[in-house]
Amino acid sequence: MPLSKRTLFVVVSTFIALLFVLAVTSDVILLKSFTSLEQTVLAGNVQKLSNEIDETYDELFAVAEGIASDVIKQGASYVSELDLQSFYTLRFDVAACFSKSGVLLSSRAADFHKRRWVVHSEPDINKIGAVAQLWAKSQNGMLKGMVLVNDVPMQLILNPVQGTDLLLLIGRYLDSEELKRVSDLTHIDFKLFLLDRKIEEYNVIGALEDFGNGVEYPSQVLENGKIAGYTLFRDLSGKPVAVGRIAEQRLVYEQGKAAIIYVISALFLAGGVFCCVVLIFIRKIILKRLASLGATVKDISVKSDISSRLPVSHERDELEEMAISINTMLDSLESAETVIRESEERYRMLFERAPDAIIIIGMDGDENGRIVAANQAAAAQHGYTVEEFCSLSFFDINITDTEKIAVPIFVQFARGEWVTAELWHRKKDGSRFPVEIHAGPIKIRGCNYTLGFERDITSRMLAEEADNIYMDHIAQLNRELTLGTDALAAANAELEAFNFSVSHDMRGPLARILGYCQILLEEGMVPDPQTKLYISRIHDSGVWLNEMIDAMLRLAQLTRAEFVPDSVNLSHIAGMVIRELVLTEPERKVQTCIADDVVVSGDPRLLKILMTNLLDNAWKYSSCQSLAQIEFGISQSEPVPVYFVRDNGAGFNMRDADKLFRVFTRLHDPAQFSGTGLGLATVHRITKRHGGRIWAEGETGRGATFFFTLQPDPTFD
């Protein structure tokens, strides 16, 4: 089919489709508009009916105001004295007077439509009386709403009587006579459905679902060609008690359908005329020029001369713009061809001058496994010229071991995978060398090839071999270190056995010396005072030596004991140590200051020994003061927490500070301050085991402060 006929066919069919879519769209939009208008009118009528019923509450409020004035004058009993004419004249059915506590004081009920008195049952009286209990919850002092009495909805007004503690209730039944009166006033067909009864009409059930979904005035289409609108009536507490329904003929909707028919008819008539005019215009003005333009483009395509250009006139319409666009496209093609040629030159230069070997291997037919192309680096790496190298196949440059794994590699290529592997190739002179390849499948003009990048890894393998030698040497050193560690452990075990053996061998003679000295001193076997003094000194030295042996054993055990970290409260330990020291010397005057809740992480047993030694020192060296002062605290000004124990005792000279933590080193006279000289050495080892450090500051006669940390300090060298 020629282009002109196809164009006319497309235009006509498209126009018909557009008319159909326009007709359907117009139908939908107009129907939706008329439906919306119908619902708006219906909602207005529902609102009108609701307003009419709300005006009933205003009438009841006016009645309540009138009766309230008489109640103020005559009291609550006035309500029970109302006559039947008052009910008929004022159009209400129930009057009741309550106290504000909800107690019924007087009431009267009638049917003002039938002009007769009515006696309510006790349940109905209770329903009416329950209304009075809601008065306290009202915001403005007045309540209005519906309540079901005797299965009939009643409109109620609950109003406080000014100046009294009374509540006046006025009610009117919304019965069939009252509903008829409302329908006559509004000229609206109105029907009421009570919610405490089973509702069987589906349209009312659907309206209730719409109310539940937040629709203010729902509507439902009835089966008899009418549409219904609904409104809710609520009781005094705000709960729905009844649904009101009005029904109307769908006059607006029917008028809308008639209007739609007229609109669609006009659209099709106008569309037919417009379609004929457009077809004539397309035939004479556009299609002929398109045919001429197509012939020129075909001639350029046949000759493959992209330097040719279409003739362009001065008339700037769409077809001329198309000719200009084609000329611009030809300019772009000519420029792109130049760019492609330059790009090919650049990539060929990159291919030829790349330092790594690049090889392209055929995968199809006669070229399967043949080296199709290679750069200068690939040829030189194998000892060939490029022409010689491209005349070989991939298998010609492989050694026997490589050919065993080459087949699985080509299988991976066939699956479209890229492979990285280490192979051995053969040079032209027959020597072999290791290469690392990274290769994968590519397509060039529909044919399958393998693109491979190769690198000689002889130097790397030599380096790896050297690394292996170094690793063997390191392993040998590790084995020697392990042997040394085992020897050190054995030496430590022997040292421990020696310590216990020496302590045991020394304790025997020492115990006998102490025993004999004590017998001589206690039984008076030495009358000479000078000799007695010598024996006493021997006894004291034995006791000191026994304590020294115990201290040395404890110090040796610190380095061997298992380190068990836990959360430790140093404040609690300090308090416990101070209390024990006070029990040993209750007559001393000591002022202590212990920081609260200093909690650290460490070995509880070792930290207790640390705190005991430091506080024992502070207690001992402050014994010469009339009022000793001992303080334990923490400083957070350093990168890590620093803990300290301070006293105002004998102190020390800072020149001797480096001697404090040495074993058996004492800076004070043993006759004045007892001790073994191992306490601070023990503290020093405990802080080291926790990764911390300890140092001291002091002044002779002015006390000393011992600082310590329990974790590594990155700023301390």
User: Are 131 and 95 contained in the same domain?
Assistant: yes
Residue that wins the pLDDT comparison between 674 and 612: 612
- Checking if the pLDDT of 413 tops 80, the result is no
Q: Does 717 fall in a domain? A: no
- Checking if the pLDDT of 355 tops 70, the result is yes
User: Are 409 and 519 contained in the same domain?
Assistant: no
Residue that wins the pLDDT comparison between 268 and 594: 594
- Checking if the pLDDT of 87 tops 60, the result is yes
Asked if 707 and 697 touch (Cβ cutoff 8 Å), the reply is yes
DSSP percent split of the chain into helix, strand, coil, nearest 5: 55, 20, 25
Residue with tokens 């506590």: 101
- The per-residue pLDDT for range 103-137, each reduced to its tens digit, is 888 888 888 888 888 887 777 777 777 777 776 66
5-14, 140-149, 622-631: the lowest-pLDDT one: 5-14
Q: Does 616 fall in a domain? A: yes
CATH code at 101?
Answer: 3.30.450.20
First-residue to last-residue Cα distance in the chain: 96
Mean pLDDT of 288-307: 72
User: Are 178 and 69 contained in the same domain?
Assistant: yes
What local confidence, expressed as pLDDT, does residue 713 receive? 78
**Which tokens belong to 512?**
């006998």
**Which tokens belong to 112?**
């003002």
What local confidence, expressed as pLDDT, does residue 547 receive? 64
User: Are 22 and 126 contained in the same domain?
Assistant: yes
Asked if 553 and 497 touch (Cβ cutoff 8 Å), the reply is no
User: Are 343 and 369 contained in the same domain?
Assistant: no
- The per-residue pLDDT for range 535-555, each reduced to its tens digit, is 777 776 666 666 666 666 665
Q: Tell me how long the chain is.
A: 717
Mean pLDDT of 460-477: 83
Mean pLDDT of 332-338: 79
Residue where one domain finishes, among candidates 456, 490, 525: 456
Q: Does 66 fall in a domain? A: yes
Band (599; pLDDT cuts 50, 70, 90): very high
- Checking if the pLDDT of 645 tops 90, the result is yes
Mean pLDDT, all residues of the chain:
79
Mean pLDDT of 560-586: 85
What local confidence, expressed as pLDDT, does residue 655 receive? 80
- Residue 396 carries which side chain, given as an amino acid letter? D
User: Are 422 and 473 contained in the same domain?
Assistant: no
Quote the percentage of the chain above a pLDDT of 90.
5
User: Are 527 and 566 contained in the same domain?
Assistant: no
User: Are 90 and 212 contained in the same domain?
Assistant: yes
- Checking if the pLDDT of 458 tops 80, the result is yes
Range of the domain at 164: 7-251
Q: Does 332 fall in a domain? A: yes
Q: Does 297 fall in a domain? A: no
- Checking if the pLDDT of 559 tops 80, the result is no
User: Are 40 and 132 contained in the same domain?
Assistant: yes
- The per-residue pLDDT for range 204-230, each reduced to its tens digit, is 888 888 888 888 888 888 877 788 888
Asked if 125 and 104 touch (Cβ cutoff 8 Å), the reply is yes
What local confidence, expressed as pLDDT, does residue 335 receive? 81
Q: How many domains does the chain have?
A: 5
Q: How far is CA 342 from each of CA 329, 347, 374, rounded to the nearest angstrom? A: 20, 9, 21
b/e per residue 110-128 (b: at least 16 CB within 10 A): bbbbeeeebebeeebbebb
Distance, in Å, from the CA atom of 114 to the CA atom of 109, rounded to the nearest integer, reads 12
2-16, 132-146, 389-403: the lowest-pLDDT one: 2-16
- Checking if the pLDDT of 680 tops 70, the result is yes
Q: Does 315 fall in a domain? A: no
Asked if 98 and 167 touch (Cβ cutoff 8 Å), the reply is yes
What local confidence, expressed as pLDDT, does residue 417 receive? 83
Residue where one domain finishes, among candidates 212, 228, 251: 251
- The per-residue pLDDT for range 1-44, each reduced to its tens digit, is 454 556 666 767 777 777 777 767 766 776 777 777 777 888 88
| Residue 510, CA atoms < 13 Å, CB-side half-sphere | 17
CB atoms within 10 A of CB 548: 16
Distance, in Å, from the CA atom of 320 to the CA atom of 300, rounded to the nearest integer, reads 17
User: Are 363 and 495 contained in the same domain?
Assistant: no
User: Are 236 and 207 contained in the same domain?
Assistant: yes
Residue that wins the pLDDT comparison between 514 and 689: 689
Band (569; pLDDT cuts 50, 70, 90): very high
Quote the percentage of the chain above a pLDDT of 70.
84
- Checking if the pLDDT of 556 tops 70, the result is no
HEC string of 502-554 equals: HHHHHHHHHHHHHHHHHHHHHCCCCCCHHHHHHHHHHHHHHHHHHHHHHHHHH
187-196, 369-378, 653-662, 695-704: the lowest-pLDDT one: 653-662
Q: Does 244 fall in a domain? A: yes
Residue that wins the pLDDT comparison between 443 and 23: 443
Q: Does 280 fall in a domain? A: no
Question: If you ran DSSP here, which 8-state letter would residue 626 be given?
Answer: S
What local confidence, expressed as pLDDT, does residue 508 receive? 66
